[in-house]
């Protein structure tokens, strides 16, 4: 029996891996093994997603944790190399653009294990972003490249990737959203809150510099005078606040809360008036939901979300945020990108079974 290894490491990987795992299980008689690098380790950054998304417990957890880029990447590589040599899989699947993705890609290619990259081809063209480096390296080495949108195919072709290895399959994150949307509810304590804005922030460019973070928070406070804000805070952002002894008093109109699980967050997102974020995945989820999204970044690797019209890049001029929000309006004609239809992981499973049958 052939063996597939899935490697996940951090929060945005889990909702991508879950539907692919399920479809491969439904379609074929392949043995599947799940490795968690442990890049994210808190319950609310990791364990809760396994339960909600119905992902099996990882067979192996490398327990890597947080560190500098080089140390984190290197620790994953050292442990993973030994483990993959022992398992000797027929194919490895990696997801997204985190350090665990790139570390796994390098290990697989050096020990000649074929691997597939789910969410290949996205480019922000901004090499100051750690994720951009992870994307470029992973795609250069991958044997199968599964793309979520046609712009990603074009990026890969320009980088010299063989067209036969590129498969436009759609967006696996949307597979999970479509499946769980009907049961996602806002947490009870927010049931009576209307017209609120949901905020997430964790990009180093926005949160690692305390002056930037302060300026964003001041502008959010300004917005909260007219629209309530719910802000589940990422541990990275929380750490910067606590390292700088900043205690943020939350009130009815500005609720700084712990990170949420998938279902609570989706429940809040689909009922929000708007979302302010610097996340990649949330730009896509709001596109499918038809919720206005304001992205605090200068660029995006997901240009289709801007093209469709739900996502607006507001750059790093934080003072502009209140005015942009004030002038925003509802999305009137919800459009959905090609193949964001809940079947992307099914297409991946089919391509993988024929790849392994060859």
296 belongs to the binding site for ligand UD1 (CB under 6 A): no
Binding mask 4-43 for ligand UD1 (x = CB under 6 A): ------xxx--------------------------xxxx-
Q: Give me the residues paired with residue 95 across strands.
A: 118
Among 114, 235, 290, 315, binds ligand UD1 (CB under 6 A): 235
Cβ partners under 8 Å of residue 63, min gap 6: 38, 41
Q: Give me the residues paired with residue 71 across strands.
A: none
167 belongs to the binding site for ligand UD1 (CB under 6 A): no
Could you say which residues in the range 178-217 bind ligand UD1, by CB under 6 A?
Answer: 202
Query: Total binding residues for ligand UD1 by CB under 6 A?
Result: 18
Among 28, 37, 99, 200, binds ligand UD1 (CB under 6 A): 99
Cβ partners under 8 Å of residue 243, min gap 6: none
2 φ/ψ sector (left φ>0, alpha ψ -120 to 50, else beta): beta
Residue 36 among the catalytic residues: no
Among 54, 90, 130, 137, binds ligand UD1 (CB under 6 A): 130
Q: Considering the candidates 36, 40, 202, 234, report the single residue annotated as catalytic.
A: 202
Q: Where do we find the tokens 């364990």?
A: 47
In angstroms, what is the minimal distance from the CB of 14 to ligand UD1? 10
In angstroms, what is the minimal distance from the CB of 127 to ligand UD1? 13
Cβ contact 144:114 at 8 Å: yes
124 belongs to the binding site for ligand UD1 (CB under 6 A): no
Q: Pick the stretch among 19-27, 220-228, 234-242, 325-333 that binds ligand UD1 (CB under 6 A).
A: 234-242
> β-strand 144-147 against 91-95: which pairing, if any?
unpaired
Cβ contact 279:296 at 8 Å: no
Nearer to ligand UD1, 62 or 339 (CB): 62
Measured distance between the N- and C-terminal CA atoms of the chain, rounded to whole angstroms: 14
133 belongs to the binding site for ligand UD1 (CB under 6 A): no
Nearer to ligand UD1, 78 or 183 (CB): 78
In angstroms, what is the minimal distance from the CB of 136 to ligand UD1? 13
| Upper half-sphere CA count for residue 167 (Cβ side, 13 Å) | 22
Q: Which helix (H) or strand (E) holds 240?
A: helix 235-243
Q: Give me the residues paired with residue 61 across strands.
A: 36
Could you say which residues in the range 304-343 bind ligand UD1, by CB under 6 A?
Answer: none
CA torsion sign for 69, 74, 80, 85 is: positive
In angstroms, what is the minimal distance from the CB of 38 to ligand UD1? 9
Whole-angstrom distance, CA of residue 28 vs CA of residue 40: 30
Burial 21-49 (b: 16+ CB within 10 A, else e): bbbbeeebebebbbbbbbbbbeebbbbbb
In angstroms, what is the minimal distance from the CB of 9 to ligand UD1? 7
Give the binding site for ligand UD1 (CB under 6 A): 10-12, 39-42, 45, 66, 97-99, 130-131, 202, 235-236, 239
Which residues are designated catalytic?
202
């Amino acid at each position: 029996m052939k063996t597939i290894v899935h490697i996940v490491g951090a929060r945005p990987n889990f909702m991508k891996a879950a539907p692919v795992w399920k479809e491969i299980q439904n379609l074929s008689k392949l043995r599947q093994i799940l490795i968690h690098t442990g890049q994210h380790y808190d319950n609310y950054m990791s364990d809760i997603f396994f339960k909600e998304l119905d992902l099996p417990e990882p067979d192996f957890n490398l327990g890597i944790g947080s560190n500098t880029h080089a140390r984190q990447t290197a620790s994953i590589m050292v442990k993973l190399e030994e483990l993959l040599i022992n398992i000797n899989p027929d194919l490895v699947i990696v997801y997204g653009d985190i350090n665990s993705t790139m570390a796994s890609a390098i290990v697989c290619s050096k020990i000649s294990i074929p691997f597939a990259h789910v969410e290949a081809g996205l480019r922000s063209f901004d090499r100051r972003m750690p994720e951009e480096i992870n994307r470029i390296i992973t795609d250069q080495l991958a044997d199968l490249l599964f793309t979520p949108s046609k712009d990603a195919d074009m990026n890969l072709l320009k980088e010299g990737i063989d067209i036969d290895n590129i498969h436009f399959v759609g967006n696996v994150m949307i597979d999970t959203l479509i499946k769980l949307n009907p049961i996602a509810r806002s947490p009870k304590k927010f049931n009576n809150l209307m017209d609120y804005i949901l905020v997430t922030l964790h990009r180093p460019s926005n949160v690692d510099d305390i002056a930037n973070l302060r300026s964003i928070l001041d502008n959010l406070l300004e917005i909260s005078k007219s629209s309530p804000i719910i802000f589940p805070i990422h541990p990275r952002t929380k750490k910067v606040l606590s390292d700088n002894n900043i205690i943020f008093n939350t009130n009815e109109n500005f609720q700084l809360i712990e990170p949420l699980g998938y279902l609570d967050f989706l429940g809040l997102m689909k009922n929000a008036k708007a979302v302010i974020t610097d996340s990649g995945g949330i730009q896509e989820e709001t596109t499918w939901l038809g919720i206005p999204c304001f992205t605090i970044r200068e660029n995006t690797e997901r240009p289709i979300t801007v093209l469709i019209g739900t996502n607006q890049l507001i750059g790093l001029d934080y003072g502009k945020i209140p005015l942009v929000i004030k002038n925003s309006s509802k999305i009137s004609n919800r459009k959905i990108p090609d193949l964001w239809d809940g079947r992307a992981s099914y297409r991946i499973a089919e391509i993988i079974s024929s790849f392994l049958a060859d």
